[in-house]
Amino acid sequence: MPEDTISSDRHENNEWYSRGYLPHREKLGLLQSITFRLADSLPLEKLQQLTLEMDSIPEEKQELERRLKIEEWLDSGMGCCAFKHPDVARCVQDAMLHFDGDRYALIAWCIMPNHVHVLIEPKVDLSKIVQSWKSFTGRWIMSKNTKLQLGVPGKTVWMREYWDRYIRNHGHFHDTIHYIHNNPVKAGLCEKPEQWPWSSARNA
C-alpha cells in the first residue's frame, strides 16, 4: 500500500506530531475524527484569501478559524462535487466499509458532495488507512469521470492533505458524531440527518 506523502515531524514511538498547524496525536486504538476533500473543492483564490485573513488572527487561534472557514466554504458546494452522483458516493462508502473490523472500527461517517467525514478507531497507521481509501476511490472515479460526467478536472481527485482530531472524552465523542451526522442538515441538503443516504445516521 503506498504511503501518504504528508510532511510530518512524528518520530517512531512518539504519538504526538505536527503537520504544520497545531500538534496532532496518533496512537493505535485512539479514536480519530477525519475529514478529507476533493482536490477542486476550494479554489486557489479562496485559499489565498484565507491566508491573508489568518495574518490578522492570533497564532493559537489560526487553525480553528482556518478549519471553520474551510468547512463553511465546503458546505457551500464548491468544485465538481463528484459525490453528488450516487455511484461515486457508493464507491467511497463501500471503500470505507470494506476494511471495517480489520484495519479499523468504523464508528460514524458522512459523504458530502465534495468532502467526507469519518470517525474511526484505527488498528493500523492512520495515514495508511486514508491513503488506501483515496487510492482505490481515486482510480475508480477517474475511470468513470467521462462516462458519469463528473467534471473532475486534471488528474488528481483528492486533496493531498486531510484533517484529523483525536477524541478527547465522551462529550467530544458524542459532539463529533452529532457534527458528522448533522452536516447535510447544516448544509441545507436535507431536513433530518437520517434522510441523507450516504451517512451512518441512517443506521443510528
> Is residue 9 pLDDT above 90, yes or no?
no
Pick the more confident residue, 70 or 36.
Answer: 36
Rounded CA separation 121/197 (Å): 23
Strands 104-111 and 163-166: unpaired
**Domains of the chain listed by start with CATH number:** 24-41+77-166 (3.30.70.1290)
Residues 6+ apart with CB under 8 A from 59: none
Residue carrying C-alpha cell 469519518? 118
pLDDT digits (tens, 9 = 90+) for 141-189: 999 999 999 999 999 999 988 989 999 999 999 999 999 999 999 999 9
What is the per-residue pLDDT for 26? Answer: 64
Lowest-pLDDT range, 68-77, 90-99, 134-143? Answer: 68-77
